[in-house]
Structure 1
């Protein structure tokens, strides 16, 4: 998730200070991914350093608004015009965990898979409950983010089912076995 470009997109609406940016970010994505205020200010500092945002004078209440620059607008337009590359996504901890479980002696990989499947199923149920609550609101972007989370969670369950089937196949590797 790109906080950098998220903040630039929000600043395209007009100047905002840190807490406004955090609230607008969470409103835009339906609070699916809470944003730490420290992360907002750290990112704003980098955006200022890179010339994509400028800090405006503080208000009487001590709040400093930020404004997108022309360079920031160009960077934001480029981000929107560029497809997300699957190789640019962060490493998947679950995939790494299962791969290492297969290569680690004494690990019951089937238990790792079933434990994760149960947790993923609970997450899916919670996402569906949230979607039912979100459907009554007009927050289209929040509903779309929630839909993406549901689809990704459903895909993870399918993949875990595939892993479980692969582990019970006659040629399934055992934990700690040498891989060719």
Structure 2
């Protein structure tokens, strides 16, 4: 899952400032500490230049708020239900988790799209292949697809038990380091 898609998904909840978007993407995808905040800001700049995101005012303390344009909203709508069969494991998991965290998002449609993608894996390598690496590659794909299908079962069971969707977090993170306590 691309950082771009994660940013747009978070902004589908409403206007947000850069570090707020960063925190939301990381916590909703369970990727704490893996996305550089600078990457968020550079992606927001690119999204603005492509007319997908606009500046939509400022916070009370002067931070710019970013919001989706109609084009950005259309891109998010498509992304919410489109499985990426070439996605790596962490991108696949992040995509499902982020969509599950969005109120009103069609997470069941996304799960079904991923089920279809992971159900269409090759059973055996080409019979004409004498390449042992082809056999191992096919085996790995089959095992990962089976794991993905089992995990999607767990996701659906969990979603049936409780609500995972939540609005944007309005709690502002503390900036800078905490003051050092003197031992005297």
Q: TM-score normalised by the shorter chain: which range applies?
A: 0.3 to 0.5
Q: Which has the higher helix share?
A: 1
Q: Which structure has the bigger radius of gyration?
A: 1
TM, length-normalised to structure 2: 0.45
